[in-house]
Chains A and B, each alone.
Chain A
Amino acid sequence: MMSNKSDHVYDDDVTFISRCQKGDTEAFGVLVERYQKKMFNIAFRMTGDYEAAGEVVQEAFLSAFRAIKTFRGEATFATWLTTIVLNHAKNSLKKTRVISHYEPISLDQAADPHNETPRFDPPADSMSAMERLEKKDIQEVVQEAINSLDTEFREILILKDIQEVSYEEITAILKIPDGTVKSRIFRAREALRERLKRKLGDW
């Protein structure tokens, strides 16, 4: 079961799904209303772009609508939908990477002293970097750190640490074994910690 901060689990999803499967568009509307925020947040954290997230979510819901008849209820609707959103987000990232290939914004480059951006100057006083940053800025830094991760680290951190999805659920969404989930979470967190350290220096 998905336990996350933004949405609760809806027991009557199945009812709306079966109505959808019979061609009831309004029932699909209910599902969209229920899950659009959660899916938008996943998409936003994946893409790091508000506009792109909107596109991803629209496409994902359209895909879900087209494929609703194939939904057999083996997983929850949220799980099924999350898989679709992640796939669309990954596709969107691939496209964006191709486009922005020659102008990458990379934290690795930021670590280079010649390219260092003035915004993340090393701390000059006893205040930690975290303390100096406004909350909004912290959010931005964290998102940038996420953006710099590999896609598979990104998605697993979004699921585990942002959406707080259970291990079992992650196994179902990403279709990878439990052991792999654990080790990937570990590596993803390590990578993130490293990026944040590099970004913020002393945090």
Chain B
Amino acid sequence: MNCQEIQKNLSSYVDGVLSSEEKKLVEGHLTSCGQCSAALADLRKAKDLLRNLDEVEPPPWLTAKIMARVGEEKEQRASFLKKLFFPFYIKVPIQALTVILVGVIVFQVYRMVEPEKKVTHAPSPPSLLTEQEALKKETPSGAAKSSEALSPQPQRNTAASKIAEKKDENAQPMSYAQGREDKKPGNVPVPAGENAPVMAEATPEDKSKKEAAGLANVPVQTEASRQRFPEGQPEDSEKAAVFADKKGVEEEPETTVLKDKITRQRACAQLMPCIIVSVSDTAAAKKVAEDMVKQLDGKAIETITQGTREIIIAELPSENINELSEKLQTLGEIKTNPELSKLPEETVRVHIEITPR
């Protein structure tokens, strides 16, 4: 082993990590080599210098500073978690509160509406009898108004009467019931509220007229429309008449009924939620539309064909109205009236008009 190799091993020798053989070799060399002995002395000196370096005292605040920073770190982490779950701590209660509040309001509204609903569904087979009962309570002052509304009033006939009755039954049980029970109009939701007094205004002048009044006013929008559109009513009626003439329909019972219907539907359209659909094939669209109404828990109360136009008066839950208009949109371009956006009742009647494009 030459000096270079010995000196390489001196470090391990100093640390006492050489094998006994290597140690012997090194020690043997050291006794005979002054240079390597000097190197060993230097090495020991250097090692001692390092070992004898004083320990340094860390600043007294070091532990506190470290722990303060650790605390900050933990806080930050905690606040991060807090932020992460913030919605659960704060927002949820607010949301829950809102939901409860809405629930309470809905319940209150439901309770307010319920009695009327009962009335609405009360068995009130609108027969001539009930009609007459209702009419008995009517004020004579309403007669003029009523006849005014009746405009081109044709001869009374049985067919018309029957239809009228049927309509009454389907379309306006409420107003009759109210008439009968003398309900305060103030309690009644808007359309019915308007309808009720109308019924009361019909005159018992003669049976024909009475019934005609019933017929014409049954969906009672006549009165309402007169109130809203004082000039509109006769005009509409005239149009209807003209329309009937154009169609070449003779002045027969059906024509009368048709005219009435048209009159009424027109009036209806101004009060009822109304959806006008422009389609290419009205007949087909009508069927589809009827199906849609059925699908949405509604029923078509009445369908009218006006030349190329199809009118469906349907009754369905108000919450389904929007869906209906969306579905109808698949048939063609739709137009709606403002009534469609304010639906206070649970069940609404909607006027669907299917017109050719």
Partners in one complex: yes
Whether A58 and B65, one on each chain, are in contact in the complex, defined by CB atoms closer than 8 angstroms, is: yes
Whether B53 and A142, one on each chain, are in contact in the complex, defined by CB atoms closer than 8 angstroms, is: yes
B70 and chain A: residue at smallest CB distance: A65
Query: Smallest CB–CB gap between A66 and chain B, Å?
Result: 7
Residues of B within 8 A of A (CB): 8, 10-12, 15, 17, 42-43, 45-47, 49-51, 53-59, 62-63, 65-67, 69-71, 73-74
Leading 7 A-B pairs by shortest Cβ distance? A40-B58, A186-B11, A161-B50, A61-B66, A193-B46, A44-B56, A65-B70
Whether B66 and A62, one on each chain, are in contact in the complex, defined by CB atoms closer than 8 angstroms, is: yes
For A142, what are the chain B residues with a Cβ–Cβ distance below 8 Å? 49-50, 53
For B58, what are the chain A residues with a Cβ–Cβ distance below 8 Å? 36-37, 40-41, 53-54, 57
Given contacts A36-B62, A139-B53, A62 and B47 within 8 Å (CB-CB):
no
For B47, what are the chain A residues with a Cβ–Cβ distance below 8 Å? 161, 189
The stretch that binds B, out of A8-16, A25-33, A108-116, is A25-33
Whether A32 and B66, one on each chain, are in contact in the complex, defined by CB atoms closer than 8 angstroms, is: yes
The B interface, classified by DSSP as helix, strand, loop or mixed, is helix
Candidate in B47, B50, B65 with the most chain A CB atoms within 10 angstroms: B50
A60 and chain B: residue at smallest CB distance: B66
Whether A28 and B8, one on each chain, are in contact in the complex, defined by CB atoms closer than 8 angstroms, is: no
Judge whether A50 is part of the interface by a CB distance below 8 angstroms.
Answer: yes
Number of residue pairs spanning A and B whose beta carbons lie under 8 angstroms apart? 103
**Complex CA–CA separation, A61 to B51 (angstroms):** 25
Given contacts A189-B11, A193-B42, A139 and B66 within 8 Å (CB-CB):
no
Whether A25 and B62, one on each chain, are in contact in the complex, defined by CB atoms closer than 8 angstroms, is: no
Whether B69 and A58, one on each chain, are in contact in the complex, defined by CB atoms closer than 8 angstroms, is: yes
Whether B63 and A185, one on each chain, are in contact in the complex, defined by CB atoms closer than 8 angstroms, is: no
Whether A58 and B8, one on each chain, are in contact in the complex, defined by CB atoms closer than 8 angstroms, is: no
Contact of B8 among A23, A162, A186 (CB under 8 A): A186
Whether A182 and B17, one on each chain, are in contact in the complex, defined by CB atoms closer than 8 angstroms, is: yes
Query: Smallest CB–CB gap between B231 and chain A, Å?
Result: 81
Contact of A196 among B10, B49, B59, B74 (CB under 8 A): B49
For A40, what are the chain B residues with a Cβ–Cβ distance below 8 Å? 56, 58, 62
Judge whether A71 is part of the interface by a CB distance below 8 angstroms.
Answer: no
List 20 additional contacts besides A37-B57, A186-B8; criterion CB under 8 Å: A28-B67, A29-B63, A32-B70, A36-B58, A40-B58, A41-B56, A44-B56, A54-B58, A57-B66, A58-B69, A61-B70, A62-B69, A65-B70, A65-B73, A139-B54, A142-B50, A186-B10, A193-B43, A193-B45, A197-B42
Residues of A within 8 A of B (CB): 5-6, 23, 25, 28-29, 32-33, 36-37, 40-41, 44-45, 50, 53-54, 57-58, 61-62, 65-66, 138-139, 142-143, 146, 157, 160-162, 164, 167, 182-183, 185-186, 189-190, 192-193, 196-197, 203
**Complex CA–CA separation, A162 to B53 (angstroms):** 7
Give 7 pairs: A residue, B residue, CB < 8 Å, sorted on A.
A29-B67, A40-B56, A41-B55, A139-B53, A189-B11, A189-B43, A190-B11
**Complex CA–CA separation, A192 to B50 (angstroms):** 10
A37 and chain B: residue at smallest CB distance: B58
**Complex CA–CA separation, A145 to B12 (angstroms):** 22
Query: Smallest CB–CB gap between A121 and chain B, Å?
Result: 20
B54 and chain A: residue at smallest CB distance: A139
For A197, what are the chain B residues with a Cβ–Cβ distance below 8 Å? 42
For B12, what are the chain A residues with a Cβ–Cβ distance below 8 Å? 182, 185-186
**Complex CA–CA separation, A203 to B57 (angstroms):** 28
Whether A161 and B62, one on each chain, are in contact in the complex, defined by CB atoms closer than 8 angstroms, is: no
Query: Smallest CB–CB gap between B246 and chain A, Å?
Result: 88
Query: Smallest CB–CB gap between A176 and chain B, Å?
Result: 16
**Complex CA–CA separation, A41 to B62 (angstroms):** 12
Query: Smallest CB–CB gap between A77 and chain B, Å?
Result: 15
For A57, what are the chain B residues with a Cβ–Cβ distance below 8 Å? 58, 62, 66
**Complex CA–CA separation, A161 to B47 (angstroms):** 6
**Complex CA–CA separation, A190 to B54 (angstroms):** 22
B78 and chain A: residue at smallest CB distance: A23
**Complex CA–CA separation, A58 to B10 (angstroms):** 38
